[in-house]
Protein backbone atom coordinates (compact mmCIF):
# COMPACT_ATOMS: atom_id res chain seq x y z
CA UNK A 1 0.00 0.00 0.00
CA UNK A 2 1.34 3.49 -0.85
CA UNK A 3 2.34 5.58 2.17
CA UNK A 4 1.55 9.01 0.75
CA UNK A 5 -1.07 11.07 2.57
CA UNK A 6 -2.79 14.25 1.48
CA UNK A 7 -4.04 16.93 3.88
CA UNK A 8 -6.65 19.52 2.93
CA UNK A 9 -6.39 22.55 5.24
CA UNK A 10 -9.38 24.81 4.60
CA UNK A 11 -8.59 28.04 6.53
CA UNK A 12 -10.29 31.39 6.99
CA UNK A 13 -8.40 33.24 4.28
CA UNK A 14 -6.92 30.47 2.15
CA UNK A 15 -7.08 26.78 1.30
CA UNK A 16 -3.95 24.63 1.27
CA UNK A 17 -3.40 21.08 0.10
CA UNK A 18 -0.21 19.37 1.24
CA UNK A 19 1.16 16.01 0.14
CA UNK A 20 3.31 14.07 2.63
CA UNK A 21 5.57 11.11 1.89
CA UNK A 22 5.82 7.93 3.97
CA UNK A 23 8.53 9.54 6.11
CA UNK A 24 5.98 12.27 7.06
CA UNK A 25 7.93 14.89 5.06
CA UNK A 26 6.20 17.62 3.05
CA UNK A 27 6.41 16.74 -0.66
CA UNK A 28 4.36 19.57 -2.11
CA UNK A 29 2.15 22.47 -1.10
CA UNK A 30 -0.55 24.26 -3.08
CA UNK A 31 -2.34 27.29 -1.66
CA UNK A 32 -5.12 29.57 -2.90
CA UNK A 33 -6.67 32.59 -1.26
CA UNK A 34 -10.37 33.33 -1.67
CA UNK A 35 -12.60 36.33 -1.26
CA UNK A 36 -13.85 37.63 2.08
CA UNK A 37 -17.32 39.19 1.92
CA UNK A 38 -18.32 41.90 4.43
CA UNK A 39 -21.96 42.67 3.50
CA UNK A 40 -22.48 44.81 6.64
CA UNK A 41 -20.40 46.03 9.54
CA UNK A 42 -19.47 43.04 11.69
CA UNK A 43 -20.69 40.50 9.12
CA UNK A 44 -18.25 38.07 7.45
CA UNK A 45 -19.23 35.61 4.72
CA UNK A 46 -17.57 33.15 2.31
CA UNK A 47 -18.90 31.75 -0.94
CA UNK A 48 -19.09 27.94 -0.46
CA UNK A 49 -18.75 27.31 -4.21
CA UNK A 50 -15.53 29.35 -4.27
CA UNK A 51 -14.20 27.43 -1.27
CA UNK A 52 -15.02 24.15 -3.02
CA UNK A 53 -13.18 25.29 -6.16
CA UNK A 54 -10.07 26.16 -4.12
CA UNK A 55 -10.20 22.69 -2.55
CA UNK A 56 -10.39 20.97 -5.92
CA UNK A 57 -7.70 23.15 -7.50
CA UNK A 58 -5.20 22.94 -4.64
CA UNK A 59 -5.68 19.17 -4.26
CA UNK A 60 -5.04 18.59 -7.95
CA UNK A 61 -2.08 20.98 -7.91
CA UNK A 62 -0.49 19.40 -4.83
CA UNK A 63 -0.74 15.98 -6.49
CA UNK A 64 0.77 17.31 -9.74
CA UNK A 65 3.61 19.13 -7.94
CA UNK A 66 4.53 15.96 -6.08
CA UNK A 67 4.22 13.96 -9.32
CA UNK A 68 1.68 11.69 -7.61
CA UNK A 69 -1.43 10.02 -8.99
CA UNK A 70 -4.58 9.77 -6.89
CA UNK A 71 -3.92 6.02 -6.65
CA UNK A 72 -0.67 6.78 -4.75
CA UNK A 73 -2.61 8.41 -1.90
CA UNK A 74 -3.43 6.03 0.95
CA UNK A 75 -5.72 8.51 2.69
CA UNK A 76 -6.94 12.10 2.84
CA UNK A 77 -7.15 14.08 6.09
CA UNK A 78 -9.35 17.19 6.29
CA UNK A 79 -8.83 20.09 8.68
CA UNK A 80 -10.77 23.34 8.64
CA UNK A 81 -11.65 26.76 10.01
CA UNK A 82 -14.14 25.94 12.75
CA UNK A 83 -17.64 27.18 13.70
CA UNK A 84 -18.38 28.57 10.19
CA UNK A 85 -21.88 27.52 9.04
CA UNK A 86 -23.16 26.31 5.66
CA UNK A 87 -26.70 25.06 4.94
CA UNK A 88 -27.37 23.34 1.64
CA UNK A 89 -30.16 21.59 -0.27
CA UNK A 90 -29.83 17.80 0.04
CA UNK A 91 -31.32 17.22 -3.43
CA UNK A 92 -29.19 19.65 -5.45
CA UNK A 93 -26.20 20.18 -3.14
CA UNK A 94 -26.67 23.95 -3.57
CA UNK A 95 -26.02 26.15 -0.52
CA UNK A 96 -29.06 28.26 0.42
CA UNK A 97 -26.84 31.23 1.41
CA UNK A 98 -23.20 32.21 1.74
CA UNK A 99 -21.29 30.62 4.62
CA UNK A 100 -21.59 32.65 7.85
CA UNK A 101 -18.02 32.80 9.15
CA UNK A 102 -16.82 32.32 12.76
CA UNK A 103 -15.78 35.99 12.93
CA UNK A 104 -19.32 37.17 12.07
CA UNK A 105 -21.05 39.12 14.87
CA UNK A 106 -24.60 39.36 13.43
CA UNK A 107 -26.11 37.29 16.25
CA UNK A 108 -24.77 39.37 19.18
CA UNK A 109 -28.31 40.40 20.15
CA UNK A 110 -29.54 36.80 20.24
CA UNK A 111 -26.58 35.88 22.45
CA UNK A 112 -27.22 38.77 24.79
CA UNK A 113 -30.86 37.66 25.13
CA UNK A 114 -29.84 34.08 25.95
CA UNK A 115 -27.48 35.38 28.63
CA UNK A 116 -30.19 37.67 30.06
CA UNK A 117 -32.59 34.70 30.12
CA UNK A 118 -30.09 32.82 32.30
CA UNK A 119 -29.31 30.04 29.79
CA UNK A 120 -25.54 30.43 30.05
CA UNK A 121 -24.82 27.95 32.86
CA UNK A 122 -26.77 25.07 31.32
CA UNK A 123 -25.14 25.70 27.93
CA UNK A 124 -21.71 25.84 29.52
CA UNK A 125 -22.20 22.62 31.49
CA UNK A 126 -23.11 20.64 28.40
CA UNK A 127 -21.01 22.21 25.66
CA UNK A 128 -18.04 23.70 27.57
CA UNK A 129 -18.55 26.92 25.57
CA UNK A 130 -19.43 30.55 26.27
CA UNK A 131 -22.57 32.10 24.73
CA UNK A 132 -20.98 34.22 21.98
CA UNK A 133 -21.72 34.88 18.29
CA UNK A 134 -18.38 33.11 17.53
CA UNK A 135 -20.04 29.66 17.71
CA UNK A 136 -22.35 27.99 15.14
CA UNK A 137 -25.80 27.60 16.75
CA UNK A 138 -27.07 31.18 16.55
CA UNK A 139 -25.74 31.46 12.99
CA UNK A 140 -27.75 28.37 11.96
CA UNK A 141 -30.89 29.85 13.51
CA UNK A 142 -30.24 33.16 11.74
CA UNK A 143 -30.10 31.40 8.35
CA UNK A 144 -33.29 29.43 9.06
CA UNK A 145 -35.11 32.62 10.04
CA UNK A 146 -33.78 34.87 7.29
CA UNK A 147 -33.68 32.72 4.16
CA UNK A 148 -37.15 32.40 2.61
CA UNK A 149 -38.71 28.99 3.39
CA UNK A 150 -35.58 27.63 5.05
CA UNK A 151 -37.11 26.71 8.41
CA UNK A 152 -40.00 24.80 6.84
CA UNK A 153 -37.64 22.98 4.48
CA UNK A 154 -35.24 22.18 7.32
CA UNK A 155 -38.06 20.65 9.36
CA UNK A 156 -39.11 18.59 6.32
CA UNK A 157 -35.56 17.15 6.13
CA UNK A 158 -34.79 18.81 2.78
CA UNK A 159 -31.76 20.77 4.01
CA UNK A 160 -28.42 19.84 5.55
CA UNK A 161 -26.21 21.83 7.92
CA UNK A 162 -22.48 21.45 8.17
CA UNK A 163 -19.32 23.14 9.34
CA UNK A 164 -16.77 23.40 6.52
CA UNK A 165 -15.45 19.83 7.02
CA UNK A 166 -18.96 18.48 6.65
CA UNK A 167 -19.68 20.47 3.50
CA UNK A 168 -16.39 19.32 1.96
CA UNK A 169 -17.15 15.68 2.86
CA UNK A 170 -20.51 16.03 1.11
CA UNK A 171 -18.91 17.49 -2.01
CA UNK A 172 -15.90 15.15 -2.05
CA UNK A 173 -18.09 12.03 -1.75
CA UNK A 174 -20.57 13.19 -4.39
CA UNK A 175 -23.34 13.79 -1.80
CA UNK A 176 -23.04 10.33 -0.25
CA UNK A 177 -21.72 11.30 3.20
CA UNK A 178 -23.27 13.77 5.65
CA UNK A 179 -20.92 13.59 8.63
CA UNK A 180 -18.64 15.64 10.83
CA UNK A 181 -16.13 14.81 13.55
CA UNK A 182 -16.40 15.30 17.32
CA UNK A 183 -14.03 18.31 17.43
CA UNK A 184 -16.05 20.30 14.89
CA UNK A 185 -19.32 19.25 16.55
CA UNK A 186 -17.94 20.47 19.89
CA UNK A 187 -17.82 24.05 18.55
CA UNK A 188 -21.50 24.34 17.57
CA UNK A 189 -23.14 24.95 21.01
CA UNK A 190 -25.44 22.01 20.17
CA UNK A 191 -23.21 19.12 21.22
CA UNK A 192 -23.00 17.53 24.66
CA UNK A 193 -19.26 16.91 24.99
CA UNK A 194 -19.67 14.42 27.86
CA UNK A 195 -22.34 12.30 26.11
CA UNK A 196 -20.69 12.79 22.70
CA UNK A 197 -24.05 13.47 21.07
CA UNK A 198 -26.29 16.30 19.85
CA UNK A 199 -28.45 17.54 22.74
CA UNK A 200 -32.22 17.82 22.26
CA UNK A 201 -32.67 20.56 24.86
CA UNK A 202 -30.00 22.70 23.18
CA UNK A 203 -31.54 22.02 19.76
CA UNK A 204 -34.87 23.25 21.17
CA UNK A 205 -33.31 26.30 22.81
CA UNK A 206 -31.55 27.44 19.62
CA UNK A 207 -34.41 26.35 17.32
CA UNK A 208 -32.36 23.92 15.23
CA UNK A 209 -34.23 20.86 13.84
CA UNK A 210 -32.36 17.56 14.31
CA UNK A 211 -33.07 16.67 10.66
CA UNK A 212 -30.46 19.25 9.61
CA UNK A 213 -27.56 17.68 11.46
CA UNK A 214 -24.72 15.44 10.29
CA UNK A 215 -23.79 12.23 12.10
CA UNK A 216 -20.78 12.66 14.36
CA UNK A 217 -17.73 10.43 13.90
CA UNK A 218 -14.43 10.13 15.76
CA UNK A 219 -11.60 12.13 14.14
CA UNK A 220 -10.45 8.83 12.64
CA UNK A 221 -13.98 7.65 11.84
CA UNK A 222 -15.71 6.44 8.67
CA UNK A 223 -15.86 9.32 6.20
CA UNK A 224 -16.22 7.43 2.91
CA UNK A 225 -14.26 7.86 -0.32
CA UNK A 226 -13.89 10.65 -2.85
CA UNK A 227 -16.10 10.39 -5.91
CA UNK A 228 -13.92 8.77 -8.64
CA UNK A 229 -14.87 11.51 -11.12
CA UNK A 230 -12.92 14.09 -9.09
CA UNK A 231 -9.35 12.77 -9.07
CA UNK A 232 -9.48 9.69 -11.34
CA UNK A 233 -9.86 7.01 -8.63
CA UNK A 234 -11.62 6.96 -5.25
CA UNK A 235 -9.41 8.07 -2.34
CA UNK A 236 -10.40 7.07 1.22
CA UNK A 237 -11.02 9.99 3.62
CA UNK A 238 -9.69 8.72 6.94
CA UNK A 239 -9.33 11.80 9.15
CA UNK A 240 -11.20 15.00 10.07
CA UNK A 241 -10.41 17.58 12.78
CA UNK A 242 -10.95 21.31 13.34
CA UNK A 243 -7.74 23.22 12.60
CA UNK A 244 -6.72 24.04 16.19
CA UNK A 245 -7.33 20.42 17.22
CA UNK A 246 -5.31 19.17 14.25
CA UNK A 247 -2.47 21.54 15.23
CA UNK A 248 -2.50 20.08 18.76
CA UNK A 249 -2.16 16.61 17.24
CA UNK A 250 0.45 17.81 14.71
CA UNK A 251 2.51 19.20 17.62
CA UNK A 252 2.23 15.76 19.25
CA UNK A 253 0.66 17.32 22.38
CA UNK A 254 -0.64 13.90 23.41
CA UNK A 255 0.23 14.10 27.12
CA UNK A 256 -1.95 15.93 29.65
CA UNK A 257 -0.34 19.28 30.51
CA UNK A 258 1.11 19.88 27.02
CA UNK A 259 0.12 23.15 25.31
CA UNK A 260 0.31 24.35 21.73
CA UNK A 261 -0.32 27.88 20.57
CA UNK A 262 -0.89 28.79 16.93
CA UNK A 263 -0.11 32.35 15.79
CA UNK A 264 -1.85 33.08 12.48
CA UNK A 265 -4.50 35.73 11.91
CA UNK A 266 -5.67 35.04 15.46
CA UNK A 267 -4.07 32.96 18.19
CA UNK A 268 -5.47 29.79 19.71
CA UNK A 269 -3.80 28.19 22.73
CA UNK A 270 -4.92 24.64 23.53
CA UNK A 271 -4.00 22.67 26.68
CA UNK A 272 -4.37 18.88 26.76
CA UNK A 273 -6.28 17.90 29.95
CA UNK A 274 -6.45 14.18 29.11
CA UNK A 275 -9.60 12.35 30.16
CA UNK A 276 -10.52 15.21 32.51
CA UNK A 277 -13.26 17.59 31.35
CA UNK A 278 -12.00 20.63 33.23
CA UNK A 279 -14.59 23.33 33.90
CA UNK A 280 -12.89 26.70 33.58
CA UNK A 281 -13.39 29.31 36.27
CA UNK A 282 -11.65 31.84 33.99
CA UNK A 283 -13.91 31.76 30.94
CA UNK A 284 -11.65 29.52 28.89
CA UNK A 285 -13.40 26.99 26.65
CA UNK A 286 -13.68 23.32 27.55
CA UNK A 287 -13.52 21.44 24.30
CA UNK A 288 -12.84 18.06 22.72
CA UNK A 289 -9.10 18.05 21.96
CA UNK A 290 -9.44 15.01 19.72
CA UNK A 291 -11.36 11.76 19.67
CA UNK A 292 -9.49 8.76 18.32
CA UNK A 293 -10.68 5.14 18.24
CA UNK A 294 -13.63 5.93 20.52
CA UNK A 295 -11.56 7.72 23.19
CA UNK A 296 -12.04 11.43 23.91
CA UNK A 297 -9.12 13.62 25.01
CA UNK A 298 -10.35 16.93 26.42
CA UNK A 299 -8.69 20.33 26.24
CA UNK A 300 -8.92 23.86 27.58
CA UNK A 301 -8.73 26.51 24.88
CA UNK A 302 -8.05 30.22 24.88
CA UNK A 303 -9.05 32.03 21.68
CA UNK A 304 -7.54 35.42 20.77
CA UNK A 305 -9.12 37.02 17.70
CA UNK A 306 -6.20 39.28 16.66
CA UNK A 307 -2.53 38.18 16.53
CA UNK A 308 -0.92 38.37 13.04
CA UNK A 309 -3.89 40.52 12.02
CA UNK A 310 -2.31 43.34 14.09
CA UNK A 311 0.84 43.02 11.97
CA UNK A 312 -1.32 43.20 8.84
CA UNK A 313 -2.88 46.37 10.26
CA UNK A 314 0.60 47.89 10.77
CA UNK A 315 1.26 47.11 7.11
CA UNK A 316 -2.07 47.80 5.38
CA UNK A 317 -3.79 50.16 7.81
CA UNK A 318 -0.92 52.34 9.06
CA UNK A 319 1.70 51.74 6.36
CA UNK A 320 4.42 51.49 9.06
CA UNK A 321 5.95 48.40 7.46
CA UNK A 322 5.97 47.01 3.95
CA UNK A 323 6.37 43.36 4.87
CA UNK A 324 5.47 41.45 8.06
CA UNK A 325 9.11 40.25 8.38
CA UNK A 326 10.29 43.83 9.04
CA UNK A 327 8.36 44.01 12.29
CA UNK A 328 10.87 42.10 14.46
CA UNK A 329 13.82 44.29 13.43
CA UNK A 330 11.87 47.46 14.18
CA UNK A 331 10.76 46.16 17.57
CA UNK A 332 14.39 45.30 18.39
CA UNK A 333 15.41 48.87 17.51
CA UNK A 334 12.70 50.46 19.69
CA UNK A 335 13.36 52.36 22.91
CA UNK A 336 12.41 49.91 25.68
CA UNK A 337 11.95 52.77 28.13
CA UNK A 338 8.87 53.86 26.23
CA UNK A 339 6.18 51.77 27.98
CA UNK A 340 3.53 51.64 25.30
CA UNK A 341 0.60 49.20 25.08
CA UNK A 342 -1.58 48.34 22.10
CA UNK A 343 -4.76 46.41 22.97
CA UNK A 344 -5.85 45.02 19.58
CA UNK A 345 -9.57 44.66 20.32
CA UNK A 346 -10.43 45.41 16.67
CA UNK A 347 -13.33 42.93 16.77
CA UNK A 348 -13.85 42.82 20.52
CA UNK A 349 -11.82 40.71 22.93
CA UNK A 350 -11.91 36.90 23.09
CA UNK A 351 -10.72 34.75 26.01
CA UNK A 352 -10.63 35.28 28.90
CA UNK A 353 -12.53 38.59 28.55
CA UNK A 354 -15.27 37.75 25.98
CA UNK A 355 -16.17 41.36 25.36
CA UNK A 356 -17.64 41.71 21.84
CA UNK A 357 -18.22 45.46 22.34
CA UNK A 358 -14.60 46.37 23.28
CA UNK A 359 -12.59 48.27 20.65
CA UNK A 360 -8.82 48.68 20.24
CA UNK A 361 -6.77 51.26 22.15
CA UNK A 362 -3.18 52.50 22.57
CA UNK A 363 -1.86 53.64 25.95
CA UNK A 364 1.36 55.36 27.04
CA UNK A 365 2.00 57.59 24.01
CA UNK A 366 4.74 60.22 24.54
CA UNK A 367 6.66 62.57 22.23
CA UNK A 368 9.26 59.79 22.10
CA UNK A 369 6.83 57.25 20.60
CA UNK A 370 7.64 56.44 16.99
CA UNK A 371 6.97 53.66 14.47
CA UNK A 372 9.42 51.27 16.17
CA UNK A 373 7.63 51.54 19.52
CA UNK A 374 4.20 51.06 17.91
CA UNK A 375 5.41 47.97 16.07
CA UNK A 376 6.87 46.59 19.31
CA UNK A 377 3.55 47.18 21.07
CA UNK A 378 1.68 45.21 18.39
CA UNK A 379 4.04 42.23 18.70
CA UNK A 380 4.09 42.39 22.50
CA UNK A 381 0.27 42.37 22.57
CA UNK A 382 0.37 38.82 21.28
CA UNK A 383 2.74 37.80 24.09
CA UNK A 384 0.69 39.58 26.79
CA UNK A 385 -2.52 37.92 25.60
CA UNK A 386 -0.85 34.50 25.61
CA UNK A 387 0.36 35.22 29.16
CA UNK A 388 -3.26 35.96 30.16
CA UNK A 389 -4.38 32.65 28.69
CA UNK A 390 -1.63 30.60 30.31
CA UNK A 391 -2.25 32.15 33.73
CA UNK A 392 -5.95 31.35 33.31
CA UNK A 393 -5.01 27.75 32.43
CA UNK A 394 -2.82 27.50 35.53
CA UNK A 395 -5.60 28.86 37.73
CA UNK A 396 -8.10 26.44 36.22
CA UNK A 397 -6.15 23.20 36.31
CA UNK A 398 -3.42 21.78 38.53
CA UNK A 399 -1.88 19.88 35.58
CA UNK A 400 -0.98 23.12 33.79
CA UNK A 401 1.56 24.40 36.29
CA UNK A 402 4.79 23.60 34.45
CA UNK A 403 4.25 24.48 30.85
CA UNK A 404 6.45 24.45 27.80
CA UNK A 405 4.67 26.11 24.94
CA UNK A 406 4.89 24.50 21.48
CA UNK A 407 4.26 27.20 18.88
CA UNK A 408 3.36 27.31 15.19
CA UNK A 409 1.67 29.55 12.60
CA UNK A 410 2.99 32.35 10.37
CA UNK A 411 4.06 34.70 13.18
CA UNK A 412 6.46 32.27 14.82
CA UNK A 413 8.93 33.01 12.02
CA UNK A 414 9.70 36.15 14.05
CA UNK A 415 12.58 35.36 16.46
CA UNK A 416 12.04 38.66 18.28
CA UNK A 417 8.39 37.86 18.96
CA UNK A 418 9.19 34.34 20.18
CA UNK A 419 11.93 35.67 22.51
CA UNK A 420 9.55 38.28 23.91
CA UNK A 421 6.91 35.58 24.35
CA UNK A 422 9.32 33.47 26.45
CA UNK A 423 10.35 36.59 28.41
CA UNK A 424 6.81 37.63 29.28
CA UNK A 425 5.60 34.09 30.00
CA UNK A 426 8.75 33.31 31.98
CA UNK A 427 8.57 29.86 30.37
CA UNK A 428 10.31 28.09 27.48
CA UNK A 429 8.85 28.44 23.99
CA UNK A 430 9.57 25.58 21.56
CA UNK A 431 9.47 26.14 17.81
CA UNK A 432 9.44 22.87 15.84
CA UNK A 433 11.17 22.13 12.53
CA UNK A 434 7.86 21.43 10.78
CA UNK A 435 5.63 24.49 10.98
CA UNK A 436 2.82 22.96 8.88
CA UNK A 437 1.52 21.36 12.06
CA UNK A 438 -2.19 21.76 11.28
CA UNK A 439 -1.91 19.87 8.01
CA UNK A 440 0.50 17.37 9.56
CA UNK A 441 -1.99 16.64 12.36
CA UNK A 442 -4.82 15.94 9.91
CA UNK A 443 -2.47 13.86 7.74
CA UNK A 444 -1.29 11.84 10.76
CA UNK A 445 -4.85 11.04 11.86
CA UNK A 446 -5.63 9.79 8.35
CA UNK A 447 -2.27 8.03 7.83
CA UNK A 448 -2.36 6.08 11.09
CA UNK A 449 -5.96 5.08 10.46
CA UNK A 450 -4.99 3.82 7.02
CA UNK A 451 -2.23 1.79 8.68
CA UNK A 452 0.60 3.43 6.74
CA UNK A 453 1.90 5.85 9.41
CA UNK A 454 3.20 5.26 12.97
CA UNK A 455 1.03 5.25 16.08
CA UNK A 456 0.88 8.23 18.49
CA UNK A 457 4.06 7.24 20.29
CA UNK A 458 6.02 6.75 17.07
CA UNK A 459 4.68 10.02 15.73
CA UNK A 460 5.56 11.92 18.93
CA UNK A 461 9.15 10.56 18.68
CA UNK A 462 9.50 12.24 15.31
CA UNK A 463 8.61 15.72 16.58
CA UNK A 464 11.79 17.81 16.14
CA UNK A 465 12.74 21.02 17.90
CA UNK A 466 14.06 23.81 15.69
CA UNK A 467 14.79 26.28 18.49
CA UNK A 468 13.95 26.77 22.15
CA UNK A 469 13.51 30.36 23.41
CA UNK A 470 14.19 30.83 27.16
CA UNK A 471 13.29 33.79 29.30
CA UNK A 472 16.12 36.28 29.93
CA UNK A 473 14.05 39.25 31.14
CA UNK A 474 14.63 40.74 34.61
CA UNK A 475 11.70 39.68 36.84
CA UNK A 476 11.12 43.31 37.93
CA UNK A 477 10.75 44.48 34.35
CA UNK A 478 8.41 41.58 33.52
CA UNK A 479 6.22 42.41 36.50
CA UNK A 480 6.05 46.09 35.56
CA UNK A 481 5.18 45.29 31.96
CA UNK A 482 2.48 42.74 32.88
CA UNK A 483 0.96 45.21 35.31
CA UNK A 484 0.93 47.92 32.62
CA UNK A 485 -0.82 45.50 30.25
CA UNK A 486 -3.46 44.57 32.85
CA UNK A 487 -4.20 48.29 33.35
CA UNK A 488 -4.42 48.84 29.59
CA UNK A 489 -6.89 45.95 29.13
CA UNK A 490 -9.09 47.05 32.01
CA UNK A 491 -9.33 50.53 30.47
CA UNK A 492 -10.25 49.01 27.08
CA UNK A 493 -13.12 46.77 28.24
CA UNK A 494 -16.54 48.09 27.19
CA UNK A 495 -17.85 48.22 30.75
CA UNK A 496 -15.12 50.82 31.43
CA UNK A 497 -16.74 53.21 28.95
Ligand X SMILES: Nc1ncnc2c1ncn2[C@@H]1O[C@H](COP(=O)(O)OP(=O)(O)O)[C@@H](O)[C@H]1O
Q: Is 312 in the site for ligand X (CB under 6 A)?
A: yes
Q: Is 133 in the site for ligand G3P (CB under 6 A)?
A: no
Q: Is 371 in the site for ligand X (CB under 6 A)?
A: no
Confirm or deny that 420 is annotated as ligand binding.
Answer: no
Please, where are the H alpha helices in 339-474?
Answer: 371-396, 415-425, 437-449, 456-461
Confirm or deny that 250 is annotated as ligand binding.
Answer: no
Contacted by 312, from ligand X, ligand G3P, none: CB < 5 to 8 Å by type: ligand X
Contacted by 77, from ligand G3P, ligand X, none: CB < 5 to 8 Å by type: none
Q: Is 410 in the site for ligand X (CB under 6 A)?
A: yes
Contacted by 184, from ligand G3P, ligand X, none: CB < 5 to 8 Å by type: none
- Of 250, 256, 289, 328, which lies in the binding site for ligand X, with binding defined by CB under 6 A? 328
Question: What is the separation of C-alpha 90 from the centre of its chain, rounded to a whole number of angstroms?
Answer: 28
Confirm or deny that 83 is annotated as ligand binding.
Answer: yes
CB within 8 Å of 358: residues ≥ 6 apart:
343, 345, 348, 349, 492, 493, 494
CB-wise, 70 or 168, nearer to ligand X? Answer: 168
H or E element: which one contains 271?
strand 267-274
Convert 375-408 to b/e letters by CB count within 10 Å (16 or more is b). Answer: bbbbbbbbbbbbbbbbebbbebbebbeebebbbb
Angle at 377 between CA 40 and CA 422, to 5 degrees: 115
Smallest gap from Cβ 30 to ligand G3P, in A, equals 17
Q: What residues between 259 and 288 interact with ligand X by CB under 6 A?
A: 264-265
CB atoms under 10 Å from CB of 2, counted, come to 15
Taking the CA of residue 461 as centre, how many other CA atoms within 13 Å lie in the half-sphere pointing to its CB? 7
Confirm or deny that 243 is annotated as ligand binding.
Answer: yes
Q: Is 257 in the site for ligand G3P (CB under 6 A)?
A: no
Q: Is 309 in the site for ligand X (CB under 6 A)?
A: yes
Contacted by 3, from ligand G3P, ligand X, none: CB < 5 to 8 Å by type: none
CB atoms under 10 Å from CB of 60, counted, come to 16
CB-wise, 242 or 399, nearer to ligand G3P? Answer: 242
CB atoms under 10 Å from CB of 146, counted, come to 11
Contacted by 197, from ligand G3P, ligand X, none: CB < 5 to 8 Å by type: none
CB atoms under 10 Å from CB of 40, counted, come to 10
Smallest gap from Cβ 342 to ligand X, in A, equals 14
User: Does residue 114 contact residue 24 with C-beta atoms inside 8 Å?
Assistant: no
- Of 119, 147, 324, 473, which lies in the binding site for ligand X, with binding defined by CB under 6 A? 324
Smallest gap from Cβ 305 to ligand G3P, in A, equals 9
Distances (CA, A) of 451 to 59, 220, 444, 494: 22, 12, 10, 52
Confirm or deny that 410 is annotated as ligand binding.
Answer: yes
CB-wise, 47 or 357, nearer to ligand X? Answer: 47
CB-wise, 243 or 380, nearer to ligand G3P? Answer: 243
Smallest gap from Cβ 491 to ligand G3P, in A, equals 27
Confirm or deny that 183 is annotated as ligand binding.
Answer: no
| Residue 317 per-residue DSSP state | I
Instruction: Tell me whether strands 159-162 and 45-46 are parallel, antiparallel or unpaired.
Output: unpaired
CB within 8 Å of 47: residues ≥ 6 apart:
34, 35, 37, 98, 99
As annotated, the binding site for ATP includes: 12-14, 265, 308, 312, 410
Q: Residues interacting with ligand G3P, by CB under 6 A?
A: 11-12, 81-83, 102, 242-244, 264-266
As annotated, the binding site for sn-glycerol 3-phosphate includes: 12, 82-83, 134, 243
Q: Residues interacting with ligand X, by CB under 6 A?
A: 11-13, 264-265, 308-309, 311-312, 324-325, 327-328, 409-411, 413-414, 417
As annotated, the binding site includes: 12-14, 16, 82-83, 134, 243-244, 265, 308, 312, 410
Amino acid sequence: MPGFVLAIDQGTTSTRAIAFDDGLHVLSVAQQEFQQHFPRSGWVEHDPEEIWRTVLDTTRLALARAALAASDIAAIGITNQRETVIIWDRATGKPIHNAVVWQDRRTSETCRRLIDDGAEDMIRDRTGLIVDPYFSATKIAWLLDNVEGARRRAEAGELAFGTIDSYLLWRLTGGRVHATDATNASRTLLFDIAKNDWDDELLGLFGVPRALLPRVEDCDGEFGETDPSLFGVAIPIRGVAGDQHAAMVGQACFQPGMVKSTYGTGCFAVLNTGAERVASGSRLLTTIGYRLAGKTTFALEGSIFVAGAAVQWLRDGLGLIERAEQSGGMAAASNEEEMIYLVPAFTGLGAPWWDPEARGAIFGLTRGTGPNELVRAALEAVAYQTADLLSAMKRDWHGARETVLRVDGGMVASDWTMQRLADLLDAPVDRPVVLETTALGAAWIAGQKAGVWPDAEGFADRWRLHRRFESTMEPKLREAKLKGWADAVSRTLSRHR
